[in-house]
């Protein structure tokens, strides 16, 4: 089975069931560019030159998010809110598939600032 890719305006949802990797991205504003990735365990954050988290990649997604692969394969939308604190990032992730809406809070420790 291949990678499912869906684009919603600027948003991008991609799930690879063979590798169990979920990738979601909000796209960049016109004055933003990709700066780099911030990798913490099973989470990889795509960060813009403005210090904003624009994308999230989740390794071992079914286990990490406690969702079966069928739900991940049928995602139709997502939202995420990122709050940056002195030594951590708080992410509220909402995944939507058919009649299912799953919310997950993720805490990512920071060694350095994103910007």
| Chain segment 60-74, per-residue pLDDT in tens | 999 999 999 999 999
Give the CA distances from residue 5 to residues 41, 83, 86, 97, 106, in Å, rounded to whole numbers and listed in that order: 24, 27, 35, 14, 23
- Model pTM score: 0.84
- Confidence class of residue 1 from pLDDT cuts 50, 70 and 90? very low
Q: Where do the structural domains in the chain lie, given as residue ranges?
A: 4-109
């Amino acid at each position: 089975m291949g990678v499912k890719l869906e684009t919603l305006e600027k948003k991008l949802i991609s799930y690879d069931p063979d590798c169990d990797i979920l990738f979601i991205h909000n796209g960049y504003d016109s004055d933003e560019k990709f700066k780099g990735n911030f990798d913490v365990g099973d989470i990889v954050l795509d960060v813009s030159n403005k210090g904003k988290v624009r994308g999230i990649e989740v390794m071992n997604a079914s286990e990490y998010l406690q969702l079966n692969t069928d739900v991940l394969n049928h995602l139709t939308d997502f939202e995420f809110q990122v709050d940056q604190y002195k030594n951590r990032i708080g992410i509220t992730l909402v995944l939507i598939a058919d009649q299912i809406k799953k919310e997950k809070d993720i805490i990512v420790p920071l060694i350095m600032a994103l910007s």
